[in-house]
Amino acid sequence: MKTLTLLRHAKSGWDDPVARDYDRPLNGKGKRAAAMVGRHMRSLALDFDHVVASPAVRVVETLDEIVAGYGRTLAPVWDRRVYLASSATLLDIVHGLPAEVERALLVGHNPGLEDLVLMLVPDAVDALRDAVEQKYPTASLAELQFETDDWGDVATGRARFTRFVRPRDLDPTLGPDAD
- Please say if the pLDDT value at position 94 is more than 60: yes
50-75 per-position pLDDT tens digit: 999 999 999 999 999 999 999 999 99
Rounded CA-CA distance 79/168 in Å is 29
Give the DSSP per-residue string, 59-103: HHHHHHHHHHHH-S---PEE-GGGTT--HHHHHHHHHTS-TT-SE
Q: Can you give the residue ranges of every domain in the chain?
A: 2-174
Rounded CA-CA distance 141/26 in Å is 17
Contact 101, 124 (CB under 8 A): no
- Please say if the pLDDT value at position 16 is more than 80: no
Cis peptide before 55 (omega within 30 of 0): no
116-133 per-position pLDDT tens digit: 999 999 998 789 999 999
Rounded CA-CA distance 43/169 in Å is 14
Looking at domain 2-174, which of 3.40.50.1100, 3.40.50.1240, 3.90.1150.10, 3.40.30.10 is its CATH number? 3.40.50.1240
| pTM, rounded to two decimals | 0.95
- Please say if the pLDDT value at position 179 is more than 50: no
pLDDT average, residue stretch 89-93? 98
